[in-house]
Amino acid sequence: MRAWRAASLIVMVVPMLAPSLRGEPAKTPPRYEYRDDHDPDGIGKFYLGREIAHVMGHQAASWLERPEREKEERSSLLLKVLPVKPGDVVADIGAGSGYFTFPLAKKVGPNGKVYAVDIQPEMLALIRKRMAERKVANIVPVKGTESDPKIPDDAIDLILLVDVYHEFSQPYEMTRAMVRALKPGGRLVFVEYRLEDSEVPIKLVHKMSQRQVLKEMAPHALRHVRTLNDLPWQHIIIFEKKTAKAKSKD
C-alpha cells in the first residue's frame, strides 16, 4: 500500500514540473506584444513596452526638406558633432529624401562612401535624381527591408538613424543586422525627439526617451558612449560596437 501511494505521488508531481525538468524545451516569451487599445499614430505593436509608430510615407518628403528645419532642429550642428571623417564608410538608414545623405557624402569625401538606405523606392528614386543633378558619385542607394538594411557586414564606420528607429516594425532584428554591419568600434548614432521634454512639438509615439533607447540596445553587442543634448528638440545617443575582447569581459 505504501509503495502504491509513493508511485501515485510521483505520477501526480511529474506533470507539475517545469518543462526543462521534464526534458522539454522551455518556451521563449514572444518578443513583441500586440494591443487593440493603442495610440492611433502607432501600429498597435509594442517592443519592451514601447509602441512602434507608423512610417512616414514618401508623400511627406517635402516636410523633410522644409526651410525651417535648420532653425527647429539645428541639423548643421548635428553634422558637426558626428564622429565622421574623410574616407569613412557611413550608412544613413531611413535616408528619406537624402537630407543628411548629401552632407555626409561631402563630409566623407571622394574616398569615403555613404549607403543611403530606405524601404521606400520612391525615396531612393528621389536620391538618385539628386545624385545625377549634383554629380555625386560616393552615395550608394540601397533598398532595405523591415528587418535588414542590406548593407555589408563588418564594413561600416558609422550608422546614422535620424528620427527613424521608432518606426522600425522589427527593431530587434534591424538592430542585430546593423550591429553586424558595423566594424568593431564602429558607431551607431540615434537622433530621436526627446520624450522627456513635453515642450517638443512632436506626437508621443514619434518620441523616445534615452532610457528606452538604452533598454532596447541592451541585448546587443553595443556600449553606450555618450548622449549629447545640444540640439533643440532631439538627443544624440551614441553607441559603439564592442570588440571581441570587450564582449568576452561582459
Band (pLDDT 50/70/90 cuts) for residue 29 is confident
Looking at residue 26, its pLDDT comes to 67
Q: Which residue has the cell 522539454?
A: 24
190: CB partners within 8 A, 6+ apart? 161, 165, 208, 213, 235, 236, 237, 238, 239
As a whole number, the mean pLDDT across the chain is 90
pLDDT at 247: 57
Average pLDDT, integer, range 27-49 = 93
pLDDT of residue 62: 84
Q: What is the pLDDT of residue 49?
A: 97
Structure confidence at residue 245 (pLDDT): 67
Give the burial string for 67-80 (b: 16+ CB within 10 Å, else e): eeeeeebbbeebee
CATH number listed for the domain at residues 59-249: 3.40.50.150
Nearest partner of 88 among 165, 141, 159, 34, judged by Cα: 159
Given a cut of 70, whether residue 117 has pLDDT beyond it is: yes
For the stretch 143-159, pLDDT in tens is 999 999 999 999 999 99
pLDDT given for residue 99 in this prediction: 97
Q: What is the pLDDT of residue 23?
A: 61
Query: Which residue(s) pair with 139 in the sheet?
Result: 114
Q: How far apart are CA 127 and CA 117, in angstroms?
A: 10
- pTM (two decimals): 0.87
- Sequence spans of domains, the chain: 59-249
Structure confidence by residue, pLDDT tens digits, 1-22: 444 444 444 444 444 555 555 5
Among 53-57, 92-96, 108-112, 191-195, which stretch is predicted with the lowest mean pLDDT? 53-57
Mind spelling out the 3-state secondary structure of the chain? CHHHHHHHHHHHHHHHCCCCCCCCCCCCCCCEEECCCCCCCEEEEEECCEEEECCCCHHHHHHHCCCCHHHHHCHHHHHHHCCCCCCCEEEEECCCCCCCHHHHHHHHCCCCEEEEEECCHHHHHHHHHHHHHHCCCCEEEEECCCCCCCCCCCCEEEEEEECCHHHCCCHHHHHHHHHHHEEEEEEEEEEEEECCCCCCCCCHHHEECHHHHHHHHCCCCEEEEEEECCCCCEEEEEEEECCHHHHHHC
% of the chain with per-residue pLDDT over 70: 87
pLDDT of residue 7: 46
Which of the residue ranges 9-18, 33-42, 178-187, 201-210 would you say has the lowest mean pLDDT? 9-18
Residue 59 has pLDDT above 90, yes or no: no
pLDDT at residue 92, rounded to an integer: 98
Residue 53 has pLDDT above 60, yes or no: yes
